Amino acid sequence: MLKHLYISQFAIIDTLNLDIRPGFNVITGQTGAGKSIIMGALALVMGDRADYKAIRNGANKCVVEAIFDVSSGNLKSLFDELDLDYADECTIRREITSSGKSRAFINDTPVNQQQLRSVTSHLIDIHSQHENLLLNNSLFQLKVVDAVARNTSLVSDYKSAFNHYSEIKKQLNILQENAEKWLAEKDYNQFQFNQLHEADIRADEQTEFEAELEKLSHIEDIKSALQVADAILSNDDAAIAQLKIAEQNLGKIADFDKDFADIYGRLSSAIIDLKDVAADVSSAFNNADYDPQRKLLVEERLNTIYSLQHKHNVNSCEELISIYNAFAEKLARIDSFDDDIKALQMQLKEAEKVMITAADALSASRLSVKT
């Protein structure tokens, strides 16, 4: 309900404060008294096109502000939807400057034209004798009936039940669409899954096999280097033999000075380490045999990995494992579609019962207004 109208510098009006009392209000006056100007100002604040020519001569800006009591309008959800602050008393202000700039505010929050009209369309109906009345609008009629019957709670219950029903129905539709699509792709997904399953990819095997192939590809160079090193280290005239002579001589003087003893100990340790190295080199040389079957096996395994990576457009075994898991989850999801659809269908039936009960209660209350 309109409670107050403030007009400043609009048309021929300097300043006007108009209080609207509850009930039936009439503005009368002879032709030219300004009735149409007041209605024009009200239309402006309701969202009509702004025209800087409406500004009073000599003024830089006109302001029209209307205050409404919206406590019985069930508009909180609309305000929330538009991200506006709600209060039972709603203040709407429209400003026009002489430069043609127009601004609108709802409860001091700037709004655009669409937001303004979304709210004001619920507050007032301006019409002439040749215009369609809002009373002919069935939605408006329902709002009037609900206001008379005090159906705020019943309307809220029905909206909540309807939204819950709609959400479940939406989920069911999406699930059924996915089921149809995924079932059509099941054979393809199963084939991809089986191929990856048979490959049995390990996260770190690509690096291991690439290193092994590098070694197998250079086995002759490796054997040659090991042979030379082994020959040097195992020769009687080798460094180890010479170092042992040095060790024996240092052992003779180790008791004379702790520095000599330290040098002797370090050399003994070095000889032990060098013997270990010589043994490892000898073992590596003896085991460095070329195995063409092993090389072929490694190459085949790497080719399998590279082929799968190229097919799935990835660069690592970890990514192949992720794709494998995704196929496994999708196949499991496909297998559970029937159960999931049945569960949602049961939920939809229950939600429909609740919605119908709420609708019947609201309908009965609306029909009671007639009597």
The predicted-structure confidence for 246-277, as pLDDT tens digits, reads as follows: 878 878 888 888 888 888 888 888 888 888 88
pLDDT for the residue numbered 186: 79
User: In 10 A of CB 370, how many CB atoms?
Assistant: 6
**Kind of pairing between the strands at 109-111 and 89-97:** unpaired
What domains are there in the chain, each with its CATH number?
2-134 (3.40.50.300), 137-371 (no CATH)
pLDDT for the residue numbered 136: 67
8 A C-beta contact, residue 91 and residue 125: no
Enumerate residues 6+ apart whose C-beta is below 8 A from 163.
none
The predicted-structure confidence for 339-357, as pLDDT tens digits, reads as follows: 888 899 999 999 999 999 9
pLDDT band with cut points at 50, 70 and 90 for residue 90: very high
Question: CA nearest 271: which of 304, 251, 241, 309?
Answer: 241
CA distances from 7 to 2, 208, 285, 341 (A): 14, 84, 104, 60
Enumerate residues 6+ apart whose C-beta is below 8 A from 125.
133, 134, 135, 140
Enumerate residues 6+ apart whose C-beta is below 8 A from 251.
264
Three-state secondary structure of the chain: CEEEEEEEEECCEEEEEEECCCCCCCCCCCCCCCHHHHHHHHHHHCCCCCCHHHECCCCCEEEEEEEEECCCCCCHHHHHHCCCCCCCEEEEEEEEECCCCEEEEECCEEECHHHHHHHHCCCCCCCCCCCCCHHHCHHHHHHHHHHHHCCHHHHHHHHHHHHHHHHHHHHHHHHHHHHHHHHHCHHHHHHHHHHHHHHCCCCCHHHHHHHHHHHHHCHHHHHHHHHHHHHHHHCCCCHHHHHHHHHHHHHHHCCCCHHHHHHHHHHHHHHHHHHHHHHHHHHHHHHCCCCHHHHHHHHHHHHHHHHHHHHCCCCCHHHHHHHHHHHHHHHHHHHCHHHHHHHHHHHHHHHHHHHHHHHHHHHHHHHHCCC
The arithmetic mean of pLDDT across residues 122-142, rounded, is 67
The whole-angstrom separation of Cα 288 and Cα 296 is 17
pLDDT for the residue numbered 302: 92
The predicted-structure confidence for 48-87, as pLDDT tens digits, reads as follows: 887 778 788 888 889 999 999 888 777 888 888 888 988 8
| Model confidence, pTM | 0.41
Enumerate residues 6+ apart whose C-beta is below 8 A from 7.
13, 15, 16, 18, 38, 41, 62, 63, 64
Report the chain's mean pLDDT, rounded to a whole number. 84
The predicted-structure confidence for 190-233, as pLDDT tens digits, reads as follows: 898 899 999 999 988 988 888 888 888 877 888 888 878 877 77
The predicted-structure confidence for 321-336, as pLDDT tens digits, reads as follows: 999 999 888 888 777 7
Structure-token match 């395994």, residue found: 301
The predicted-structure confidence for 278-324, as pLDDT tens digits, reads as follows: 888 888 777 777 778 888 898 899 999 999 999 999 999 999 999 99
pLDDT band with cut points at 50, 70 and 90 for residue 167: very high
pLDDT band with cut points at 50, 70 and 90 for residue 99: confident
pLDDT for the residue numbered 19: 87
The whole-angstrom separation of Cα 107 and Cα 100 is 23
Query: CA dihedral defined by 9, 10, 15, 19, rounded to 10 degrees?
Result: -150
